Chain A
Amino acid sequence: GAVVSQHPSRVICKSGTSVKIECRSLDFQATTMFWYRQFPKQSLMLMATSNEGSKATYEQGVEKDKFLINHASLTLSTLTVTSAHPEDSSFYICSARIRGGPDTQYFGPGTRLTVL
């Protein structure tokens, strides 16, 4: 149980284009989803907290107009990297909390974004 999927697993795009990453909770409803960014050999950095039906809460220093988050349903959150640049290349990981459950966060497998 508590499986989180992400799509795509890998994406390569040209500078200036936008990329959408999906995060789905497969066997549970998720009131809250989180988006993290991880650079090579580094820890996870929280980008934003996403609650179903409301606006995401972004961490300090994260541009909300560049990293658009939509949490349209209890099983799906999307992260769109707009006008991507090479410095946006990173490993993006989402996590989700079970609706009505404990505060455990279950992570997806991650999405490797490479911007050329």
Chain B
Amino acid sequence: GENVEQHPSTLSVQEGDSAVIKCTYSDSASNYFPWYKQELGKGPQLIIDIRSNVGEKKDQRIAVTLNKTAKHFSLHITETQPEDSAVYFCAARLSGGSEKLVFGKGTKLTVNP
């Protein structure tokens, strides 16, 4: 089955710097890759997603890139702010018509003011 590896597990940056979180997946047929932000005690919030027919997607300070050949995708946050501090999860949807998402283990991002 699908396996999603996420790195790093923790990331600390200074306010205004960029943050990059990387994920790799094992099933080359996976075709949908969302990123979620989870604040303490809350449910995950979708921040951006990308499908396999697109190599890059951007939404203001957030961007996601996808390399299908290498089977990895990355989240880029520019001009980080303290309110970006949270746990970020990447996910990949299983192929074959499945609706299931397989999640990475999460990255705890801390943005220091």
* Chain A contact residues, CB within 8 Å of chain B: 4, 6, 32, 34, 42-44, 46, 49, 93, 97, 103-110, 112
Q: Is there contact, CB below 8 Å, between A103 and B41?
A: no
Q: Residue on B with the closest CB to A93?
A: B43
* Chain B contact residues, CB within 8 Å of chain A: 32, 34, 36, 41-46, 49, 89, 93, 99-101, 103-106
Contacts A49-B99, A103-B99; A44 near B46 (Cβ below 8 A): no
Which 7 pairs from chain A and chain B are nearest by CB?
A107-B43, A109-B43, A110-B43, A107-B44, A43-B103, A43-B105, A44-B103
Q: Residue on B with the closest CB to A6?
A: B43
Q: Residue on B with the closest CB to A32?
A: B99
Query: Roughly how many angstroms separate A105 CA and B43 CA in the complex, as a whole number?
Result: 12
Which residues on the B side are within 8 Å of A109 (C-beta)?
Answer: 42-43
Q: Is there contact, CB below 8 Å, between A43 and B43?
A: no
The total number of A-B Cβ pairs within 8 Å is: 45
Which residues on the B side are within 8 Å of A46 (C-beta)?
Answer: 100-101
Query: Roughly how many angstroms separate A4 CA and B44 CA in the complex, as a whole number?
Result: 11
Which residues on the B side are within 8 Å of A106 (C-beta)?
Answer: 46
Q: Is there contact, CB below 8 Å, between B44 and A43?
A: no
Q: Is there contact, CB below 8 Å, between B100 and A49?
A: yes
Which residues on the A side are within 8 Å of B46 (C-beta)?
Answer: 104-107
Query: Roughly how many angstroms separate A32 CA and B89 CA in the complex, as a whole number?
Result: 21
Q: Is there contact, CB below 8 Å, between B44 and A44?
A: yes
Q: A46-B101, A109-B42, A110-B41 are in contact. List 15 more A-B contacts (CB 8 A).
A: A4-B43, A32-B99, A34-B99, A34-B101, A43-B89, A43-B105, A43-B106, A93-B44, A103-B32, A103-B93, A105-B101, A107-B36, A107-B43, A107-B44, A110-B43
Instruction: Give the contacting residue for B41; candidates A105, A108, A112; CB below 8 A.
Output: A112
Q: Is there contact, CB below 8 Å, between A97 and B99?
A: yes
Which residues on the A side are within 8 Å of B106 (C-beta)?
Answer: 42-43
